[in-house]
Amino acid sequence: MATSQERQRANLARMKRVMEEIENTTDDYNLINELHELLRKPYSLSLKWHMIVFKSEIDRSLWYLEDIRNEEIEIEKMKRRRGKEPKEELNKVSGKFSEIVSAFKLDHQMVYDEKANQYKLSKSGVSRTTRENIFAIPKSMIGDGKLQWSEAVKQKWGEDNIGQRESLERGFCN
């Protein structure tokens, strides 16, 4: 029989794998449900503050994923309506504003060309619909069989003063 610590380590490792699978697939409904199930399990080795931040970051990532899923659906609808998109890049669109807006695509952006003194529609170098690394911060927190304060979390949330205080309290109580 596995101990509580071994189960926690296995659950955190599975959670990390599930997040990586979600980033690499569009069929993610069951994976998101599994991620929610894993979040409901107790993680007593981790500090409560780390768990709060971890769940908050997963919620933020899932909210961002929902936006990505909506954009993926829109792109699929546009592809079905128009057929395949042209391979050539749209360099210049001139005319009325309505023509520019109708020519605008989700993977294109308006760029101001200083030489020509006008705006151009060009293909965006970075796709707005990328699933890659949307769980970067939560995945960075998983380590050593418990949740920890990583560099990515430190950059976003600052120093871990609350976690340090909580670990001190745990030391006094035990």
What digits encode the pLDDT tens for the residues 9-38? 999 999 999 999 999 988 889 999 999 999
Inform me whether the pLDDT recorded for 83 exceeds 70.
no
Spatial distance between the Cα atoms of 76 and 6, rounded to a whole number of angstroms: 43
Distances (CA, A) of 26 to 60, 73, 100, 149: 18, 10, 30, 30
Tokens of 103: 């020519």
Q: What's the mean per-residue pLDDT of the chain?
A: 81
pLDDT the model gives residue 141: 93
Q: Is 12 exposed, middle or buried (0-12, 13-18, 19+ CB in 10 A)?
A: buried
- pTM recorded for the entire structure: 0.69
Spatial distance between the Cα atoms of 139 and 121, rounded to a whole number of angstroms: 36
Please count the structural domains in the chain.
1
Residue with the larger pLDDT of the pair 109 and 49:
49
SS3 state at 143: strand
Domain containing residue 20 = 4-173
Q: Average pLDDT, stretch 62-83?
A: 84
Q: pLDDT grade, residue 49 (50/70/90)?
A: very high
